[in-house]
Structure 1
C-alpha cells in the first residue's frame, strides 16, 4: 500500500525552518510584552515592534501553509524550492499588509471620538498601574517585581481589559485628577536622575561656551584698554609721515634748482645773445633815417627770442625780466650832471634845468639796467619766476619757498596728505583737521579702534550663530534669549522660561520638574476631560487617540496570535521529528496519529494553560481581572475574552525564552534598518498632517542631529549601537532619538541600555564594573 508521504528532504527542511521560525517569533512575543507592559510605548518603538511582528507572522503563516502543498509540487528539490518561494511571495505580503489593513479599517479608523478618548484614559490608567501610582483593590499585583513575566503580561493586557468596561471612567471620575497627576509625577520623577544628568551635561556645554565667550570679551576689553597706546602708535605715524614728507620736499627743492640750472645753461646764452643783438641794432641803425631798418632788426631779434624762451616751459617772459637792475645814488647823479655841464659848456645843465622845470627827470636816473652772460644770474631768475614756482607747487602741493620744518608741518597740504593717508587705513579725520588738533586725532583713533573691536566681536559671535553683547555675567549669559532658545531646543518639553544651567537638584526639581509635572497634568486632563469632538478625525487629539487605541487593542490581539502560532508550531515539531525517524513498520498507523495530532493539539494548547497553569491575577473568581474579563465577554464576545484569559496564563511561560533568544541573537535590534525601510512603503501609514503645532515642533526637534562620543573607564572598550546599522565611531553624527548602546571590554561586565540622544553634543561616560 502506497503512502502519500512527501520527500525526506522536504520534511527535514520544514522541520528546520519551523524550528528556526520559533526564535524570531518568540523574540517578538517577549519584546511586545516588555515594551507594552512598561507603559504606553513611543510611536516609533510601537511602529518598529508592529512591523517586526507582522514580518515574522508572514513567515510563520507561510510555513504553516507549506505543510499543505501537494506532493507533486515538492517531489523534486528544484520544484519544491520554487513552490516554497512562490508561497512565501504570495502569503507574506497578504499577512504583512493584511494584518495592518484589517486592524486599521475595522478597529482604528471607524472608531468614534468617544472610543478614542476612553482608550486614551485606559492607556493612562495602565501606565499609572505599571508605574505603581494607583492601587486596585483585590488585584494581586506585585509592584516590587514589576518586570516579572506575569506582571508584564498582565500590564500589557490591562489597557484592553480597562477599555472593555465602558462604566469604568464614570466610577473613578472623582479620582481622575489625582491619578493623572500621580502618573505624570511618577513618570517624571522616576527619570529624575536621567533628566538631571542630561541637564548637567547642558551645564557643562554652556560652561565651555561661556568660557569661550568670556575669552572673547576679555580680548574685546583689552582692545579698548589699549586705545591710548594705539593712539600713540598712530601719532608716531603722523610724525613719521611729516618727517618723510619734509625729506621729500627738500629733495623736490633740490630737483627744482637743478631744473633751473639746466634751463640757465641752455637758455642763458640765448637771452644774452638777444640783448646783444638789440644793442647792435641800436648802434648800427642809430640815425633817424635808419629807424625802419632798426625796427626790423629789433623784430627779428624779438622773434628769435620768443621762439627760444617759449621752449623753456614757463610761457612768454618779457626780455627785461632778465636784466640786472642796479641802484644809482644821488651823488653819482650830481657828479654826472656836473661833468656833462662842464663838457658841454653849460648846455647840458640848462637843458637839465628845463626838463626838471617841465616835470621831466632832468636826466637823473635811480636805476641802471645791464645784461650778462653769467649762468648763475639766469638760474636765480628762473627760480624767482612765478611760473616756475607754480610748476613746483603743482608737482608737490607746496610753495617753493618753505625753508623751515615747522612751516612745512603746519601747511594745509601736509594736513591733507595725512588725512588721505589715514583714511586709507580706516582712520577718518575731519576735512578741516590740522596737525595742531591732537585731541581731535585722538577721538578719531578712539572711534576707529572701538569700531574695529565691535566688528571683530560681531564676526566672532556670527561664527557661533549668536549676537550677544560683550561682558555679560554668567547669569546674564544664561538668561539671554538666544541662549535660552538653545537651552529650550535641548530640553524640549522640560524647558521653562528663565531656566539656568547651574541649578542644583533641589532647584531643578522646584523650578523645572515640578512646573512641568503640573503643566503636563493640566494638558493630560484637558485632553481627557475636554470635548470628545477633539478626538474626531482631523481634530487636535485624533492621532493621539488613535495611537492610544492601538496601544490598548493591538497588544492583546498580537500577543494572543503570536503566542498561539508559537505553541501550534512547537506542538508540530515532535510529530515532524517522529515522521523523519520512525521505523518503516510504524508508517501504516502514522496517518491516524497525524490526524489525531492535528485535531487534538490545538485543543490541548487552548485548554491546558487555562486549566493547569496557575496565575495570580485570575485564581480568585472575585478578582478585578475576572471582572474585566466578564466585561470583555459582555462588550465583545466570549472568544476574545477567552483569548485574553488564555494569554494571561500561557504568556508568562514563554516570555523569558524570547528574552534569552534576543540576548544571544539581537535579531530585534538588527531588524531596525529594515523596519525603517518597510515603514516607508507600509500601507495606511499614520497621517501626521493633523498633528498639533506642538507635536510638529517636537517631531522637528527629534530630527535634529546629535554628535555622540562615548567614553569609559575600561581600556580597549568597544561600543556598539544595537538598533542601527552603521558602526560606532567617536563623534559620529546621529539623528536625535533613542538608541540601544552597548559598551563592552575584556574583563568587565557588558553595559547595555537605551539612551535618549537629543540635539547637540552628547558625551556619555560609561563606568564598567569588573567581572
Structure 2
C-alpha cells in the first residue's frame, strides 16, 4: 500500500468521524463570532442605560427589543448547530433549507417567549404589595443614583456613575431592594421625605439644563416674532395701499366712462350717417308718392273703386321702397309735416291773410258744432334733413340694442347718470380688477366704490397671509401684540413641543428670567412629580391588584426593576459561554481532517470541556475577581450573605458572580459599539419594524398561552374584597327589574352570575 493511498483513507475516516460537513462547521463558527458582537453590545448598552439615573420605560423598551432580537438569533444558531447533523447536513440544499426553517421557528419563540415567561411567571403572578413596592424600589435606585440618599457601607460614587462596577450595581439595586422587603419596610416612614428630596434634588440638579433649553426656546420665539413682524409689515403695507388702489381704480372708472361716452357719440354719428344715406334714397320717391295721392284724388274723385285702386298701388310702391331701404314699415304720413288746427278758431293774422275767409269758416264750424276738434293737414316735404331725422328715430330700438342707450342723451352728465353706464362699470371693474359692487351702485356713489376697493384689498391681504401661513406651517392672526403673540395657540404648541409636557405650563412666556422660570416651571413640575409618585407609593394596595386602577402601572414598575438584572445576567452568561467555546470550535476546525479516535472519546472530551467551561465561567469570577460591592466590609455583602436573609446561597453566589464579572465585559461591549455602531444601526433600520411586529402579535400570543376565558370584570372595595357584577336574565321581553335593599341580601362571592 502506497503512502498516498494510506493518507487518503485516513482523511476519509476523519471526515466520516464528524457529524457535520466542514463547510457547515465553518459557517457556525463564523456565525457564532458575528453573533458575539451584538450580544456584547446589548449587554453593555443594557448596563449603561439601566445603571444610569436617567433610564426611562421608553428607552428601556428599546434596549429590551434589541436584546430579544439578538437572543433569538443566538438560540437559533444554537439549536441549528445541534440539529443539523448526519443525513440532513450531507446535502447543502437540505442543510440551508433546514437552517431557514429552524430560524423561522426558533427566533419568534425566543423573541416572544422571553417576554412571555417574564410576564407569566413573574409579573402576572406578583401580589399587589409587590407591585407597589416596585415603585419605591425604582425611586430608591434613582435617589441613590442622584446622591439624594446615602446607604452606609456602600461605596457607590455618584461622581463616577459611568464606572462599570457602579453601573452594574445600580442595574441590580432595584431588584435587590425589591427582594428585601425588610429593608423597604425599614424605610416606610421615610418614603415621603426621600421622595421630596429626590424630586427637589433632580429639579435643582437639572435646573441649568432646563433653563438653557428654555433660553433656546425663548430665542426661537423671539426669532419667530421678528419673522412674524416682517410678515405683518408686508400685510399692513398691502392694507395701507387700499387708498392708492381705490384712487387708481376710480381713474379706471373715469376712463371707462370717457371711453363709453366717446363710443356712444361715435355710434350716434354712425347711425345718423346711415339714416342720412337712407333718407337720400327715400326723400324724393316719398315726396312724389304724395303727389300721386293728389293725382288719384283729382282723377278718380267721382269713381271710388278706381280711386281706391290707385291709392293701393301708391302704397305698394311705398312699402317696397321702405323694405328695400331696410326701414321698418310706418304709414306714409310719418314722412309728412303735420299741421294741426282747432276748428272754430282762427287768428287775426290768418283772417287778414285770407281776406276774412278763415273767420267765415270758423264761424260755420261753430254753427255746425265742430268747435274744438283737431284737424290735421299732412304737407309733403322734400328736405333730406327732415327724412334723416325721421329715419334715425325709427332706428332707436336697434341703437339701444347695440349700445344699451337711448338716442336722446345730450351730454356726458346724462351719460354718467344712465343706469347702463353703472352696469358697464360694475362688469368691467369686476372682470379686470375683481372688485365687487352691489347691483344698486351708481356712478355718483364714489365712497361706496372706495369701500369696495378697500374690501378687495383686505381680502387679498388675508388670502396672501393664509397662503403664506399654510406654506410655512403656522396658524396665527396678523397684528397681534407681543404679549398675545406669545400666548397664541401656535406659539404655545411650539413651546410645549420643545420644552416637553413635563416642563410646560399654560402659558409659557418668552420674557421670563431664571427666577420666574423656576417659579412658573420648576416648582409646578416638582409638585406635579411629587403628587404623581405619592399617588403610587401611598395608594391602597387593592388598586394594584388584578383589575385595579393601578394594575398596569404596577406591572410596568415591576418589570422595570426585574427585567434589567435578569437580562443582564443571561446576556453575560451567553457572552462568556460563546467566548470560551470559540477557541475549542476553532481547534476542531484546524484538526478537522485529522482522524479522531472513538466516538466515545469525542463525547467524553466534549463533556469534559463543557464542565471546564462552566467552571471557568462561574467559579473563577467568584474566587479570583472582586468588586467593591462584594468585599467583606460592604453592606451589600452582608445583606446577601446573612443566614436569615432573603437570598439563598445560590442566589447570593449569582449576585456576587454578576457584580464581579459584568464590569469586565461591559467596557468591551461599549468599545465594539463605538467601532461598529450596531445599536445605532438597529435603532435606525430595524426598531420600527420589530416594534410593530411585537405590538401586533404579542397580545395574541399571550392570550393563546393563557388559555383562560375572558376574565369577568370586577371592582375592589376599600377593604380589598372583590365585587363581581350581578347579571339578571329574564324570559320576558322588555322586563323591568327592580333591585330592592331588603333581605335576603346578595351574598358576596357566592356567585358571579345569577338568573331569575
Does residue 481 (structure 1) correspond to residue 489 (structure 2)? The answer is yes
For residue 99 of structure 1, report the CA deviation from its aligned partner: 3.0
Shift, 1:227, TM fit:
2.5
Cα distance in 2, alignment partners of residues 643 and 213 from structure 1: 63
The equivalent position to 2:627 in structure 1, one of 604, 607, 615, is 615
Q: How many residues end up aligned between the 2 structures?
A: 671
Quote how far apart the aligned CAs of 1:393 are.
Answer: 4.3
Contact 1:164 1:628 in 2 (8 A): no
Change (3 A) 1:437 1:112: same
More RCO (CA 8 Å, sep 6+): 2
- CA–CA separation in structure 2 for the residues paired with 1:261 and 1:548: 108
Which residue number in structure 2 is paired with residue 629 of structure 1?
Answer: 640
Classify the secondary structure of the residue corresponding to 1:337: coil
TM-score by length of 1: 0.74
Residue 554 of structure 2 aligns to a residue whose secondary structure is helix
1:662 equivalent among 646, 664, 673: 673
| Counterpart position of 2:63 | 49
SS of the residue corresponding to residue 167 of structure 1 reads: helix
Q: Deviations over 1:157-187 (max 9, x none)?
A: 1111001122334322333233233434444
Q: Does 1:438 align with 2:446?
A: yes
Question: Is this contact kept in 2: 1:633–1:640, CA < 8 A?
Answer: no
Deviation (angstroms), 1:276: 1.0
Equivalent position of 1:699 in the other structure:
none
How far residue 526 of structure 1 moved from its aligned partner, in angstroms, is 1.3
Give 1:606 shift: 2.5
2:389 alignment partner in structure 1 = 380
Comparing 328-337 and 449-458, the one that deviates more? 328-337
SS of the residue aligned with 1:602? helix
1:27 corresponds to: 41
The CA deviation at 1:647 is 1.0
Distance 1:550 1:430 in 2: 73
**Separation (CA, whole Å) in 2 of partners of 1:229 and 1:101:** 76
State the 1:407 CA deviation.
Answer: 3.2
Once superposed, what is the RMSD of the aligned Cα atoms?
A: 4.5
The corresponding residue for 1:140 is: 155
3-state secondary structure, aligned to 1:137 = coil
2:138 corresponds to 1:130: no
Indicate if the aligned counterparts of 1:36 and 1:156 stay in contact, CA closer than 8 A.
Answer: yes
Secondary structure class of the residue paired with 2:388: helix
Q: Is 1:180 aligned to residue 161 of structure 2?
A: no
Pair 1:457-2:470 in alignment = no
Instruction: Report the equivalent of 1:301.
Output: 314
Counterpart pick for 2:273 among 245, 258, 261:
258
* Residue pairs, 1:74-93, within 5 angstroms: 85=99, 89=103
* 8 Å contact from structure 1 (residues 632, 641) kept in 2: no
**Superposed counterparts of 1:188-267, under 5 Å:** 188=203, 190-192=205-207, 195-196=210-211, 198-267=213-282
Moved more, 9-18 or 21-30: 9-18
TM-score by length of 2: 0.75
State the partner residue of 1:514: 523
Shift, 1:509, TM fit:
3.5
Which stretch of the first structure deviates more once superposed, 156-165 or 428-437? 428-437
8 A Cα contact 2:134 2:178, kept in partner? yes
Query: Shift of the alpha carbon at 1:473?
Result: 2.4
Deviation string for 1:191-244 (max 9, x for gaps)? 555545554454454445434432332222223322322221122122212211
CA separation in 2, counterparts of 1:545 and 1:464? 44
Q: 1:27 and 1:305, CA in 2 relative to 1: closer, same or farther beyond 3 A?
A: closer
Deviates further, 642-651 or 441-450:
441-450
Deviation of the 1:156 alpha carbon: 0.8
Distance 1:176 1:313, change over 3 A: farther
Q: In 2, are the aligned partners of 1:6 and 1:74 still within 8 Å (CA)? A: no
Kept after mapping to 2: 8 A contact 1:484/1:499: yes
Compute the displacement of 1:257 (Å): 1.1
Distance in 2 between the 1:277 and 1:585 partners? 151
Which residue of the partner structure matches residue 705 of structure 1? none
Q: In the TM superposition, what whole-angstrom CA distance separates every residue of 1:293-329 from its partner, at most 9, and x where no partner exists? A: 4454345434544565577544423526513769999
Q: Deviations over 1:456-496 (max 9, x none)?
A: 43444454555533211233212012332343244331221
- 1:322 maps to 336
Contact 1:310/1:316, CA 8 A, preserved across alignment? no
Query: Does 1:37 find its partner at 2:46?
Result: no
Distance 1:444 1:663, change over 3 A: closer
How far 1:282 moved relative to its partner?
A: 2.9
Counterpart position of 1:530: 539
Task: Return 13-22 or 230-239, whichever deviates more.
Answer: 13-22
* Equivalence map 1:724-743=2 (5 Å): none
Q: Select 1:406's aligned residue among 383, 393, 413.
A: 413
Partners of 2:73 and 2:447 lie apart in 1 by 90
Give a deviation string over 1:417-470, Cα, whole Å, max 9, x none. Answer: 334444555444455544334334333433443344344434444545555332
CA-CA distance at 1:137 after TM superposition: 2.0
Distance 1:590 1:297 in 2: 151
Aligned to 2:567: 558
Q: Equivalent residue for 2:403?
A: 396
Match of 2:410, SS state, is: coil
In 2, Cα distance between equivalents of 1:594 and 1:262: 130
Paired with 1:34 and 1:500, the residues of 2 have a C-alpha distance of 37
1:119-154 Cα shifts (integer Å, max 9, x gaps): 122112112212222211222212221111111111
Q: 1:409 touches 1:435 (CA, 8 Å); kept in 2?
A: yes
Query: Hey, what's the Cα distance between the residues in 1 that align with 2:482 and 2:290?
Result: 93
Match of 1:718 in 2: none
CA distance 1:687–1:264, change in 2 (3 Å): same
Cα distance in 2, alignment partners of residues 330 and 641 from structure 1: 155
Instruction: Tell me if the contact between 1:230 and 1:445 (Cα under 8 Å) persists in the aligned partners.
Output: yes
Return closer, same or farther for 1:482/1:55 CA change in 2, 3 Å cut-off: closer
Asked if the contact 1:134–1:179 (Cα under 8 Å) also holds between the matched residues in 2, the reply is yes
Kindly indicate whether the alpha-carbon contact (under 8 Å) linking 1:253 and 1:400 is maintained by their aligned counterparts in 2.
yes
